[in-house]
């Protein structure tokens, strides 16, 4: 028994050591650096600035105002998409199923420029309406809603994929029998599909949140000059203003925001459902 334990530990040791060296140590170092001033002394000034100076806290508010709607809308769109492609047997459903995932294979920067050309005031949307003599300006590029739109483009396929694999685990006969006894779509969704897949839904929501809160390419190229999303603000602090301490403090704040999201997921994951954990006598 003891030998087996040692063997197990030995097998995880290399990956664990690597993780400590390249993940945990840098994080701890960043947290410590965030509490230092330029001469190396302890200070709370960096954090004070982040939460009181409008040029910093507006970035946080702005980032959340882009990311939270992204997460919400993403769920609202990805769920029906996943349900449709998983359960519908029509040919269209199969085509949609094969197509939506292709966006995952487009390099991020290519997609960013393409989307910018779609939504800019002189872009494809505008040109399409011009065919009918209507001058329609989407007014999306360099705005928060524009960033939400682009984030959705990147994240819907990802969320739908996670949901699909979870949905595939529900047997169709179960759903059919529910329908046989007269359950309508909403009842089936809330009483069967949701309880069985909400963990996958939350998992994808958490990943989308973490991915968007630290995003760089999209907000750098298609975001406003102010406020900036946290990823861009962090890059500026570190690579343009060369203020390592401020950058570290900002990174810690971003890490905490992601940790809250991650924490919610872990809590739900640990909390077993009643039916999974029958009371023992």
Partner 1 sequence: MKQKNRLGALALAIVLCAAPLIGCGAAQSDAAGAASSSGSDKTEENAAAAAEPVRINLWSYGSDNVRIAWEAILEGFHAKNADIEAELQFLPSGTGGQTLPEKFIAAVKSGKENIEFDVIEMSDNDLVQITGEVGYEALRPLSEKDIPAMAAIPEQSQLSQGRATVFRGNTVLLAYNSETVAQPPRTYDELIQWIKDHPGRFAYNDPLTGGAGLAFLITSIYNPLPEEALNSSDEKWKAEWEQGMDLLKEIHPYLYKASGHVQYPAKNQGTLDLLAAGSIDIAPAWADMALDQLARGQLPKNIKIAQITPPLTGGMISLGIPAASDDSKFEAACRLIDYIDSPEGQEILVKSQKIIPIIDSASLSAEANELLNGFKSDTYRVYSIGKLNTELQERWQREIAILN
- Report the interface residues with partner 1, using CB under 8 A: 3, 7, 10, 13-14, 18, 54-55, 120-122, 137-143, 146, 220-221, 224-226, 236, 240-242
Give which of 147, 170, 156 is closest to 96, Cα–Cα: 156
User: Which of 55, 165 has the CB closer to partner 1?
Assistant: 55
Cβ–Cβ < 8 Å for 46, 34 = yes
Q: Using CA atoms in the order 225, 229, 105, 208, what is the torsion angle rounded to 10 degrees?
A: -160
Name the burial class of residue 229, with classes exposed (0-12), middle (13-18) and buried (19+) by CB atoms within 10 angstroms of its CB: buried
User: Which of 141, 201 has the CB closer to partner 1?
Assistant: 141
Q: At its nearest, how many Å lie between partner 1 and the CB of residue 228?
A: 8
**Residue whose token pair is 């705005």:** 143
As beta bridge partners, residue 36 has 42
User: Which of 225, 276 has the CB closer to partner 1?
Assistant: 225
Q: At its nearest, how many Å lie between partner 1 and the CB of residue 180?
A: 52
User: Which of 18, 259 has the CB closer to partner 1?
Assistant: 18
Distance, CA of 105 to CA of 127 (rounded, Å): 27
Cβ–Cβ < 8 Å for 254, 213 = yes
User: Which of 16, 190 has the CB closer to partner 1?
Assistant: 16
User: Which of 183, 224 has the CB closer to partner 1?
Assistant: 224
Q: At its nearest, how many Å lie between partner 1 and the CB of residue 122?
A: 6
Q: At its nearest, how many Å lie between partner 1 and the CB of residue 4?
A: 11
Q: Give the torsion sign (CA, 226, 232, 234, 239).
A: negative
Cβ neighbours for 266, distance < 8 A, ≥ 6 positions apart: none
Phi and psi, residue 169, nearest 5°: -75, -15
Q: At its nearest, how many Å lie between partner 1 and the CB of residue 162?
A: 31
Q: At its nearest, how many Å lie between partner 1 and the CB of residue 152?
A: 17
């Amino acid at each position: 028994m003891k030998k087996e334990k040692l063997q197990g530990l030995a097998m995880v040791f290399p990956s664990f050591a690597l993780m400590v060296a390249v993940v945990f140590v840098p994080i701890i170092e960043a947290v410590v650096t965030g509490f230092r001033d330029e001469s190396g002394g302890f200070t709370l000034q960096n954090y004070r600035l982040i939460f009181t100076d409008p040029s910093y806290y507006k970035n946080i508010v702005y980032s959340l105002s882009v990311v939270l709607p992204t997460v919400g809308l993403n769920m609202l769109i990805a769920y029906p998409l996943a349900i449709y492609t998983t359960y519908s047997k029509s040919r269209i459903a199969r085509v949609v199923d094969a197509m939506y995932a292709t966006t995952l294979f487009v390099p991020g920067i290519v997609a960013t420029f393409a989307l910018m050309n779609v939504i800019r005031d002189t872009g494809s949307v505008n040109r399409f309406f011009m065919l009918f003599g209507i001058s329609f300006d989407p007014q999306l590029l360099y705005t928060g809603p524009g960033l939400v739109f682009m984030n959705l483009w990147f994240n819907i396929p990802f969320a739908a994929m996670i949901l699909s694999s979870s949905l595939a685990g529900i047997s169709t006969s179960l759903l059919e029998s529910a329908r046989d006894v007269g359950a309508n779509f909403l009842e089936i969704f809330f009483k069967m599909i949701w309880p069985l897949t909400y963990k996958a839904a939350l998992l994808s929501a958490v990943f989308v949140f973490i991915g968007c809160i630290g995003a760089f390419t999209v907000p750098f190229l298609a975001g406003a000059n102010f406020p900036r999303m946290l990823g861009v603000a962090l890059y500026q602090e570190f690579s343009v203003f060369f203020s390592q301490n401020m950058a570290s403090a900002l990174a810690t704040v971003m890490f905490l925001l992601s940790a809250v999201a991650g924490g919610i997921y872990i809590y739900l994951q640990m909390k077993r459902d009643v039916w999974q954990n029958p009371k023992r006598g």
